[in-house]
């Protein structure tokens, strides 16, 4: 029973449970697509959370990294006919390398320079997606094949769900182990106080770079998975809107929390679907976008630990009230 | 050669719009330590107001001034509702709040005004003037001179008046400014009001070229950030000069290198500034005290 206490084991078990559910309870295809999207956004949110929640840096260019992963994966499996797993890995590694180059430049400076540099990066990369026809086919977009591993094709949404969850669980375990180890402690120390961390001999620049590179890697992986799920992509998807939604996922779900990243992606993907079903609300344009922004602002102001830790925050609030009551007597 | 001069004038025209937006950014950044990522969307919203007012009244000056009054109230309210409650939050949280404002304001604009791209007239409709082979649009001259007048007034206010001293003092050190009896909170409101009005001015002036639409400010918004980095976040004059330089450069790249890859090339410029001189042309090295 002791093993159940370990987080990685919990992740694997939860993953198993969720991946079996669609085989037991029949779920309509469209809902399965939405669930698959949730899992894919959870991957990128996880990476984004390492950057924002743990390292305290804002990026507005992660949609570009994800788009890069998507296009790369389409190119590698299509034109170069590489196996899916290899192209998945490469689609993570190449955005990571670009992330490292960008980080080397922007992370030397104060926090807001990364936000500005990545804002520009997002716009510039989107422009490249539009103009570099040989690689992206411009607005006409590119298509990709079903993913296949050792001859098995993940054609059905249910089987893709198993694959996506497997990737997500691996990414979760990697993130967990990393954050529990030396690197994670250094990153956390850095977020809480840069000066104190520096005094302890932590190389701020190096760890910011590690966090940024990892988040770009996660984004690329998510992009590749997305490409093989939807099997079509075009440039307009990978704009600033997606980057803002990613930010909202992490802030609403819970900063510096692996579970929070997943809760956030569930919230962000499902909320618009639920609004669509409510009569009257569906007619208002952009409603889910507005509400997402408002929820993000409210989250920062009133529940900075996010939905995932709302219970914890409530308990600590109650215990504080009790203490105060005791003092008053 | 005519093309060169014509492009320079066009560059100064776009440059003045970048300068207006960049000055707004820096005003808010220096007084209240916030990067206002929502500036572009707030300006877009104000431009939609101008467009709607013009459709109702048919008078351009009324629409222009009405929209600026709206922008002033808008900026004041945004600061009160979103920024002031979070005044104790850290820098990252404040950035996140302004990013949330993008979603709220941008989304609202789509919900209220629709997602169409609408034509809005120029400020001056007079015929083009030809000077020694160079075709000059009176509207371009109007935009450049209006910007110069606004800048002159603002820099007079910042450098010579009591309000300006208060703004500079708040920019330098908020706590000391407060101790000196400067109403810091009022300075915050004021800087948001001025910045929003500057952004709205840029929005209304650029509308004839971009049309009035949700994404109309995307380019100016990004370029105003690049202009601010180029000029330096720590000076008021830097971003203005940066804006003009960037505007001319932008058009030159479009003329001599490639129109398609303009955005990417100008982004490359941002990266080069960050490598070579991250403090900007006019900025001093900013040492953080522990």
Global ipTM = 0.88
Cα four-point dihedral sign B130, B134, B140, B141:
negative
> Which residue from B35, B100, B218 is facing A293, i.e. has the nearest CB?
B100
**Alpha-carbon span A177 to B4, nearest angstrom:** 59
Each of the 290 residues of chain B gets a pLDDT tens digit; together they read 778 888 888 899 999 999 999 999 998 988 888 889 999 999 999 999 999 999 998 888 999 999 999 999 999 999 999 988 887 788 888 899 999 999 999 999 988 888 888 888 888 777 788 877 788 888 888 999 999 999 999 999 988 899 888 988 888 888 888 898 888 889 999 999 999 999 999 999 998 888 888 888 888 888 999 999 888 888 888 889 999 999 999 888 888 888 888 888 888 888 888 888 888 788 766 555 55
Q: Residue A10 is part of which domain span?
A: 2-238
Q: Which of B25, B35, B89, B96 to mutate to test the interface with A (most CBs of A within 10 A)?
A: B96
Residue B75 belongs to what H/E stretch? Answer: helix B60-78
CB pairs under 8 A between A and B: 126
B100 → chain A, closest CA residue:
A293
Q: Across the interface, do B274 and A58 touch by the CB < 8 Å criterion?
A: no
Contact status of B133 with chain A (Cβ, < 8 Å)? no
CA dihedral angle for residue B228, residue B229, residue B234, residue B238, rounded to 10 degrees: -50
B145 touches chain A (CB under 8 A): no
In-domain check, residue A164: yes
Instruction: Going residue by residue through chain A, which has 329 residues, state the pLDDT in tens, using 9 for 90 and above.
Output: 677 778 888 888 888 888 888 888 888 888 888 999 999 999 999 999 999 988 888 999 999 999 999 999 999 988 888 888 999 999 999 999 999 999 998 888 877 888 989 999 999 999 999 988 888 888 888 888 888 888 788 888 888 899 999 999 999 999 999 988 988 888 888 888 888 888 888 888 898 999 999 999 999 999 999 999 988 888 988 988 899 999 999 999 988 888 889 999 999 998 888 888 887 777 777 888 899 999 999 998 888 888 888 877 788 877 877 666 655 44
Interface of A with B in 243-282 (CB under 8 A): 244, 247-248, 251
Evaluate whether residue A157 is within a structural domain.
yes
Q: Which residue has the tokens 């692996």?
A: A258
Chain A within 8 Å of B270 (Cβ-Cβ)? yes
Measured CA angle at B197 (ends B36, B141), to 5 deg: 115
Q: Which of B28, B195, B226, B106 is nearest to A286 (CA)?
A: B106
Q: Is A104 exposed, middle or buried (0-12, 13-18, 19+ CB in 10 A)?
A: middle
Whether A218 contacts A92, CB under 8 Å: yes
Contacts of A175 (CB under 8 A, 6+ apart): A46, A47, A50, A214, A258
- What's the rounded Cα separation, in Å, for the pair A12 and A35? 18
Residue A155 lies in a domain: yes
Least Cα distance to A69 among A212, A172, A218 occurs for A218
Cβ <8 Å between A290 and B290: no
Mutation target for B interface from A98, A134, A300: give the one with most B CBs within 10 A.
A300
Number of domains within chain A: 1
Note whether B91 contacts A: Cβ–Cβ < 8 A.
Answer: yes
Please report whether residue A255 resides in a domain.
Answer: no
Q: What is the torsional sign of CA B174, B179, B185, B191?
A: negative
pLDDT digits (tens, 9 = 90+) for A46-60: 999 999 988 888 999
Contact B108 A290 (CB under 8 A): yes
Distance CA B20, CA B1 (A): 29
Non-local (6+) Cβ contacts of A50 within 8 A are A175, A178, A179, A187, A211, A214, A215, A218
Q: Where are the alpha helices (DSSP H) in chain A?
A: 7-24, 29-49, 62-78, 84-106, 111-131, 133-136, 157-180, 182-192, 194-199, 204-230, 240-253, 258-277, 287-302, 310-328
Give the integer Cα–Cα distance in Å for A173 and A180. Answer: 10
Name A169's Cβ contacts closer than 8 Å, sequence gap at least 6.
Answer: A11, A12, A14, A15
Report if residue A191 sits inside a domain. yes
In chain B, residues with a C-beta closer than 8 Å to the C-beta of A52 are: 92
Packed helices A240-253 and A111-131: angle between N→C axes, nearest 10 degrees:
140
Between CA B60 and CA B47 the distance in angstroms is 12
Cα gap B214→B216, rounded to integer Å: 6
**CA end-to-end distance (rounded Å), chain B:** 54
Q: DSSP strand E in chain B: where? A: 129-131, 134-136
Report the C-alpha gap between B89 and B57 in whole angstroms. 43
CB-CB neighbors (< 8 A) of B222 in chain A = 119-120, 123
CA atoms within 13 A on the CB side of A206: 9
Q: How far apart are CA B214 and CA B115, in angstroms?
A: 6
- The residue whose two tokens read 């991957």 is A43
Beta bridge partners of A143: A232
Q: Taking the mean position of all CA atoms in its chain, how far away is CA B10?
A: 18
Q: How far apart are CA A249 and CA A240, in angstroms?
A: 14
Which residues in chain A have their CB less than 8 angstroms from residue B99's CB?
58, 60, 244, 247, 296
Please check whether residue A258 lies inside any domain of the structure.
no
Quick check: helix, strand or coil at residue A100? helix
B269 touches chain A (CB under 8 A): no
Which of helix, strand or coil describes residue A250?
helix
B104 neighbors A290 (Cβ within 8 angstroms): yes
Q: Closest to A105 (Cβ–Cβ): which among B35, B86, B274? A: B274
Q: A203-224: b or e for each residue (b if 16 or more CB lie within 10 Å)?
A: ebeebbbbbbbbbbbbbbbbbb
**What whole-number distance in Å separates Cα of residue B169 and Cα of residue B159?**
11
Q: What is the pLDDT of residues A82-100, one digit of tens each?
A: 888 999 999 999 999 999 9
User: What is the Cα A197 distance to its own chain's centre?
Assistant: 26
């Amino acid at each position: 029973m002791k093993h159940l206490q370990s987080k990685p084991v919990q992740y694997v078990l939860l993953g198993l449970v969720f991946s079996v559910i669609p085989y037991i309870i029949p779920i309509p295809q469209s809902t399965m697509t939405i669930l698959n999207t949730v899992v894919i956004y959870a991957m990128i949110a996880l990476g984004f959370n390492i950057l924002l929640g743990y390292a305290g840096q804002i990026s507005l260019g992660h949609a570009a990294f994800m788009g890069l992963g998507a296009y790369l994966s389409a190119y590698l499996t299509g034109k170069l006919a590489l196996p899916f797993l290899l192209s998945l890995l490469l689609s993570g590694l190449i955005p990571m390398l670009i992330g490292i180059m960008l980080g080397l430049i922007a992370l030397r400076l104060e926090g807001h320079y990364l936000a500005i540099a990545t804002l520009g990066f997002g716009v510039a990369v989107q422009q490249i997606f539009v103009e570099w026809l040989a690689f992206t086919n411009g607005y006409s977009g590119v298509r990709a094949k079903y993913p296949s591993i050792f001859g098995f094709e993940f054609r059905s949404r249910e089987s893709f769900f198993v694959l996506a969850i497997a990737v997500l669980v691996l990414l979760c375990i990697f993130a967990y182990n990393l954050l529990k180890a030396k690197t994670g402690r250094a990153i956390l120390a850095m977020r809480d106080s840069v000066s104190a961390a520096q005094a302890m001999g932590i190389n701020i620049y190096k760890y910011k770079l590690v966090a940024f590179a990892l988040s770009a890697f996660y984004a690329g992986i998510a992009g590749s998975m997305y490409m093989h799920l939807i099997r079509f992509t075009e440039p307009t998807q990978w704009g600033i809107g997606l980057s803002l939604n990613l930010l909202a996922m992490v802030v609403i779900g819970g900063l510096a929390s692996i579970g929070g990243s997943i809760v956030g992606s569930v919230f962000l993907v499902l909320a618009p679907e639920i609004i669509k079903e409510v009569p009257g609300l569906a007619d208002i344009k952009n409603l889910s976008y507005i509400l997402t922004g408002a929820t993000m602002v409210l989250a920062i102001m009133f529940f900075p630990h996010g939905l995932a830790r709302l219970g914890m925050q409530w308990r600590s609030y109650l215990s504080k009230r009790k203490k105060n009551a005791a003092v008053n007597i | 050669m005519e093309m060169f001069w014509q492009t320079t004038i066009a560059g100064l025209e776009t440059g003045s719009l970048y300068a207006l937006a960049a000055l707004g950014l820096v005003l808010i950044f220096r007084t209240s330590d916030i990067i206002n990522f929502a500036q572009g969307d707030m300006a877009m919203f104000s431009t939609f107001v101008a467009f709607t007012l013009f459709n109702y009244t048919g008078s351009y000056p009324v629409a222009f001034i009405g929209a600026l009054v709206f922008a002033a109230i808008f900026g004041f309210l945004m600061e009160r509702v979103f920024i002031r409650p979070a005044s104790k939050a850290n820098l990252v949280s404040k950035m996140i709040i302004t990013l949330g404002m993008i979603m709220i304001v941008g989304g609202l604009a789509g919900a209220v005004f629709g997602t169409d791209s609408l034509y809005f007239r120029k400020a001056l409709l007079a015929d083009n003037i030809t000077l020694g082979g160079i075709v000059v649009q009176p509207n371009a001259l109007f935009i450049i001179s209006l910007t110069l007048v606004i800048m002159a007034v603002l820099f007079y206010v910042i450098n010579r008046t009591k309000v300006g001293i208060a703004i500079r003092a708040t920019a330098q050190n908020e706590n000391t400014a407060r101790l000196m009896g400067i109403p810091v909170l009022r300075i915050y409101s004021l800087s948001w009001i001025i910045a929003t009005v500057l952004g709205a001015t840029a929005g209304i002036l650029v509308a004839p070229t971009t049309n009035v639409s949700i994404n109309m400010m995307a380019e100016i918004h990004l370029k105003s950030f690049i202009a601010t980095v180029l000029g330096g976040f720590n000076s008021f004059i830097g971003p203005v000069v940066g804006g003009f330089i960037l505007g001319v450069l932008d058009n030159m790249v479009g003329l001599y290198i490639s129109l398609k890859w303009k955005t990417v090339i100008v982004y490359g410029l941002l990266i080069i500034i960050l490598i070579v001189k991250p403090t900007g042309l006019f900025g001093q090295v900013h040492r953080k005290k522990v």
